[in-house]
Amino acid sequence: MPVWLRKSLVVMISIVTFGMVSPAQVNGFLTTTAERTDKSTAAETSFMDSFDDTLDEDAERNKFIDWAMREAEMQSFEKFGAKIGPVIEDEFRQTILPNIEKAIEMVAVQYPGEKLNTLRITEMPGGGESEKIFHIIGDTGKDIIRFHVRRDQPPKDGYWFNFHYHTYHDGFQSHYELGRIFWDKNTPPKWRS
């Protein structure tokens, strides 16, 4: 089998199986016994090594994103409490949570796979009037990104929850909006109540 075809099949099978089958397994399956005894060229070896590294990097990134999203959802509903959570739950899951995931993916792309293991999420959302939902903290102990929600009350428009995030790139000054959810004309309860 030509080398280019084998490499193409290795890539396609690995992508289709979402990394469940490693390129080494696919390559072993596709090679004949005679080919297995031949030494692979330096170019083939370096291609396979870099391909394994890319798959490992993507797997680490996906694992981090899944973990961070579970934490984000848990921290958010802990912040909402029993009074706010049930009222905004559906809209939060449909509108805000996907945008939080995009922001977390943006963070994950900035770090190599082995560095993702050093990132942490704060454990306690803010209560009362506090905006803090959760922060992602780097290996230096400093915040990388902060996810917040504030109460807005435009004149004669009732109360809105404004979900946004800040990043360390500009010293946490800019608001990057994730979405808004309407509450009511009446004042919402305090967070975590």
- Helices 42-91 and 97-109 cross at an angle (nearest 10°) of 150
Per-residue pLDDT band at 41 (split at 50, 70, 90):
very low
**pLDDT at res. 44:** 44
Where does the chain have alpha helices with state H?
3-16, 23-30, 33-37, 42-91, 97-109, 113-116
Residue type at position 60: E
Convert the pLDDT of each residue in 153-171 to its tens digit.
988 889 999 999 999 999 9
Strands 176-184 and 159-167, bridge-based pairing: antiparallel
Q: What is the pTM of this model?
A: 0.71
pLDDT of 106 over the 90 cut: yes
H/E segment holding residue 161: strand 159-167
Is the sign of the CA dihedral 43, 48, 51, 57 positive or negative?
negative
Could you give the CA distance from residue 177 to residue 1 in angstroms, rounded to a whole number?
53
Given a cut of 80, is residue 131 above it in pLDDT? yes
Tokens 């396609």 belong to residue: 12
Residues 48-93: tens digit of each pLDDT: 444 455 557 888 899 999 999 999 999 999 999 999 999 999 999 9
